[in-house]
């Protein structure tokens, strides 16, 4: 008699466990969905709040505006002081953005391109120019790579010349004992295949 009651208890326990598993799974899915919705809401609120700031920094230049064309040309002639191998127009550094803003303010104030270049050169040195002028302080920038190339070629020539002299001055003298051993090995018939 106890056996059917026990079987009923086991069956009831299994169904409860199954149901609890489904409920646990459903609660987990609901928690995950709530988290996803909360993250999506936070992201959308943050993007909405960031729109005015992004709109203030984005000023798409008019393609036919002569001031924009002049500024673009001037920015390609100036070097980014952070990136060092990019023009001011190509750089995304914060300092480049500040310099672009400064160039724009000077251009709007009525300064000519030469006045803007001389102002930036006085403030940052000839390095700010992407194509620095040839003068006493910049001759090393212009002649340095050619001097290094010529120096490297000269050192290479010296090494090759010394190597050739060393080989020419020390001829190989035959060792008579080594020659006899080699001749004996060649003349021996023991090593010949039958």
Describe the crossing of helices 113-124 and 66-77 by its angle, rounded to 10 degrees: 30
CA atoms of 187 and 29, how far apart (whole Å): 91
On whether the CB atoms of residues 119 and 110 are closer than 8 A, the answer is no
Give the pLDDT of residue 136. 80
Q: What is the largest CA-CA distance in the chain?
A: 115
CA atoms of 182 and 188, how far apart (whole Å): 10
pTM of the predicted model as reported, rounded to 2 decimal places: 0.45
* Range with lowest mean pLDDT among 62-66, 74-78, 186-190: 62-66
Half-sphere exposure of 58 (CA within 13 A, CB side): 6
CA atoms of 79 and 103, how far apart (whole Å): 12
CA atoms of 67 and 166, how far apart (whole Å): 68
Helix (H, G, I), strand (E, B) or coil at 129: strand
Angstrom CA distances, 112 to 67, 119, 189, stand at 11, 11, 97
User: Nearest CA to 107 among 184, 99, 49, 55?
Assistant: 99
On whether the CB atoms of residues 84 and 124 are closer than 8 A, the answer is no
CA atoms of 74 and 88, how far apart (whole Å): 9
User: pLDDT tier at 8 (50, 70, 90 boundaries)?
Assistant: low
User: Nearest CA to 106 among 93, 94, 115, 98?
Assistant: 115
Query: How many other CB atoms are there within 10 angstroms of residue 128's CB atom?
Result: 20
Mean pLDDT of the 56-68 span: 64
User: pLDDT tier at 153 (50, 70, 90 boundaries)?
Assistant: very high
Structure tokens at 168: 């020419």
Mean pLDDT of the 156-162 span: 95
User: Nearest CA to 85 among 124, 122, 117, 130?
Assistant: 130
């Amino acid at each position: 008699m106890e056996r059917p009651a026990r079987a009923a208890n086991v069956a009831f326990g299994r169904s409860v466990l199954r149901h609890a598993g489904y409920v646990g799974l459903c609660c987990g899915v609901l928690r995950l969905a709530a988290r996803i919705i909360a993250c999506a809401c936070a992201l959308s609120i943050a993007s909405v709040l960031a729109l005015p700031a992004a709109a203030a920094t984005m000023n798409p230049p008019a393609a036919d505006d002569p001031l924009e064309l002049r500024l673009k040309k001037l920015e390609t002639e100036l070097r980014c002081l952070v990136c060092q191998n990019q023009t001011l127009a190509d750089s995304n550094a914060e300092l480049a953005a500040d310099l672009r803003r400064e160039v724009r303010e000077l251009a709007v104030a009525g300064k000519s391109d030469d006045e803007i270049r001389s102002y930036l050169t006085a403030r940052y040195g000839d390095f700010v120019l992407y194509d620095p002028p040839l003068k006493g302080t910049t001759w090393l920038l212009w002649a340095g790579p050619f001097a290094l190339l010529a120096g490297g070629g000269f050192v290479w020539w010296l090494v090759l010349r010394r190597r050739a002299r060393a080989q020419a001055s020390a001829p190989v003298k035959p060792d008579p004992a080594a020659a006899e051993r080699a001749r004996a090995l060649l003349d021996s018939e023991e090593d010949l295949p039958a």
